[in-house]
Structure 1
Amino acid sequence: MKYFLWLLVSVALAGSISSCRSTKRIQTAISKKDTAAVVPVVDAKADSMRFIHEIYQAIERNRIDFNTFSAKLKVDFSGDEGKKRDFTAVLRIKKDSAIWVSITALLGIEAFRIMVTPDSVKVLNKLDKVIQLRSVSYLQELAKVPFTFQELQALLIGNPVFLDSNIVSYRKNEKTISLLSATDIFKHLLTVSTDDYRLLHSKLDDVDVLRARTCNIVYGDYVNKNALLFPTYRGITVSEKTKVDIVMQFKQVDFNVDLTFPFNIPRNYKRQ
Structure 2
Amino acid sequence: MKNLVSIFFTAFVIISTYSCRTTKQINKAIAPKDSTVNIVTNTSAADSLKVIHETMDRFHSHYINYKTFNAKIKAEYEDNKGKQPDISAVVRIIKDSAIWVSLSATIFNVEVYRMLITKDSVILMNTRDKEVQYRSIDYLQEVTKIAFDYKTIQDLLIGNPIFMDTVVVAYRKTESHILIATAGDIFKHLLTLSADNNLLLHSKLDDVDVTRNRTADITYDNYENKNGVDFSTYREITVSEKNKLDIRLNYKQYEFNKELSVSLKVPKNYKRM
Superposition TM-score tier, normalisation by shorter sequence: 0.7 to 0.9
The CA deviation at 1:104 is: 2.3
CA distance in 2, matches of 1:5, 1:62: 25
The CA deviation at 1:241 is: 1.4
CA distance in 1, matches of 2:20, 2:172: 12
The CA deviation at 1:196 is: 1.1
Query: Which of 6, 12, 36 does residue 8 from structure 1 map onto?
Result: 12
Counterpart of 2:109 in structure 1 is 108
Within a 5 Å distance, the mapping from 1:50-89 to structure 2 comes to 50-89=50-89
Q: Deviations over 1:156-200 (max 9, x none)?
A: 101001113411111110111111111232210011111111110
CA distance in 2, matches of 1:152, 1:82: 27
**Which ranges of structure 2 fall in alignment gaps of 5 or more residues?**
28-38
CA distance in 1, matches of 2:104, 2:211: 39
TM-score (norm 1): 0.87
The answer to whether the 8 Å contact 2:218/2:238 transfers is yes
Query: Is the partner of 1:210 in helix, strand or coil?
Result: coil
The answer to whether the 8 Å contact 1:186/1:205 transfers is yes
CA distance in 2, matches of 1:207, 1:165: 13
- Indicate the RMSD between aligned Cα atoms, in angstroms: 1.6
> One-letter code of the match for 1:70?
N
TM-score (norm 2): 0.87
Deviating above 6 A after TM superposition, structure 1's stretches of 4 or more consecutive aligned residues are: none
CA distance in 2, matches of 1:165, 1:184: 8
Q: Deviations over 1:96-154 (max 9, x none)?
A: 11111112234433221111111111111100001111111112222323201111100
- Percent identity between the two aligned chains: 47
CA distance in 2, matches of 1:56, 1:6: 28
The CA deviation at 1:83 is: 4.8
Q: Which structure is larger by alpha-carbon Rg, 1 or 2?
A: 2
The answer to whether the 8 Å contact 2:93/2:99 transfers is yes
**Which ranges of structure 1 fall in alignment gaps of 5 or more residues?**
15-29
Q: How many matched pairs?
A: 252
The answer to whether the 8 Å contact 2:9/2:144 transfers is no
CA distance in 1, matches of 2:108, 2:205: 38
> One-letter code of the match for 1:51?
V
